[in-house]
């Protein structure tokens, strides 16, 4: 395994390890996220590639506890947002590629957060109409996903296992069921 360099906030920089060790974190400490960590994860989303470089998205940083609690009532798993230090709603406009691009941006933000020792969890929006009443949407925009972020309440140390061990422990279909080499 390659050496893993610690980051400023206890995170890790090995990209492969970050990808295979990424797990949804739903319980957070009450420790606030440093401004530079929030900036890094938002920038990771902003610079994500998009279909034809349209960037048909906006990132709504739900920093206020009041707005996070209200938006929590619109998602499938409200508890994921209620204890979070930050939530980011990705809203998109346009056709079908917007949702794909939002997923790419979301994953980049979650991996960037992990690099700083911050956990995350994506959440779908169950009540889009109510969501639109709570946050300012522009003409033609719709919510694609809401991601919660915070320092994990429990032990979650990706560097404690090798990528191979994280893969072995993942509850995923076996590789031959999802990978075909043609």
Over the stretch 107-150, which tens digit does the pLDDT of each residue have? 999 999 988 889 999 999 999 999 999 998 999 999 999 999 99
Distance of CA 44 to the CA centre of its chain: 10
| Residue 90 burial (10 A CB sphere; 0-12, 13-18, 19+) | buried
Query: Is residue 74 scored above 90 in pLDDT?
Result: yes
pLDDT band at 161 (very low <50, low <70, confident <90, very high): confident
Beta carbons of 56 and 92 less than 8 angstroms apart: yes
pLDDT at 30: 93
**Mean pLDDT, rounded, for 9-32:** 81
pLDDT band at 158 (very low <50, low <70, confident <90, very high): confident
pLDDT band at 94 (very low <50, low <70, confident <90, very high): confident
Find the farthest-apart pair of alpha carbons in the chain and give their distance in angstroms, rounded. 51
pLDDT at 163: 87
pLDDT band at 11 (very low <50, low <70, confident <90, very high): low
Q: Could you please state the CATH topology (level 3) that the domain comprising 15-153 is classified under.
A: NADH Oxidase (3.40.109)
What's the start-to-end Cα distance of the chain, in Å?
29
Give percent of the chain with pLDDT exceeding 70.
91
Query: Is residue 12 scored above 60 in pLDDT?
Result: no
Q: Give the residue from 88, 141, 107 showing the smallest Cα distance to 19.
A: 107
Query: Is residue 8 scored above 80 in pLDDT?
Result: no
Domain ranges within the chain, ordered by starting residue: 15-153
C-alpha distances in angstroms, 92 versus 78, 96, 113, 143?
A: 21, 10, 22, 6
Which uninterrupted H or E stretch holds 61? strand 57-62
Q: What is the pTM of this model?
A: 0.87
């Amino acid at each position: 395994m390659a050496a893993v360099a610690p980051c400023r906030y206890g995170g890790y920089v090995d990209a492969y390890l970050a990808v295979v060790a990424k797990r949804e974190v739903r319980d957070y400490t009450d420790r606030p996220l440093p401004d530079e960590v929030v900036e890094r994860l938002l920038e990771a989303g902003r610079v994500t590639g998009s279909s034809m470089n349209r960037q048909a998205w906006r990132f709504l940083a739900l920093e206020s506890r009041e707005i996070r609690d209200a938006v929590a009532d619109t998602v499938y798993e409200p508890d994921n947002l209620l204890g979070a230090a930050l939530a980011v709603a990705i809203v998109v406009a346009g056709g079908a590629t917007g949702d794909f691009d939002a997923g790419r941006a979301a994953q980049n933000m979650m991996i960037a957060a992990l690099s700083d020792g911050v956990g995350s969890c994506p959440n779908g929006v169950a009540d889009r109409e109510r969501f639109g009443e709570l946050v300012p949407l522009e003409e033609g925009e719709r919510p694609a996903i809401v991601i919660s972020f915070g320092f994990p309440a429990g032990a979650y140390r990706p560097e404690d296992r090798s990528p191979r061990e994280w893969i072995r422990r993942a509850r995923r279909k076996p590789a031959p069921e999802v990978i075909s080499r043609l």
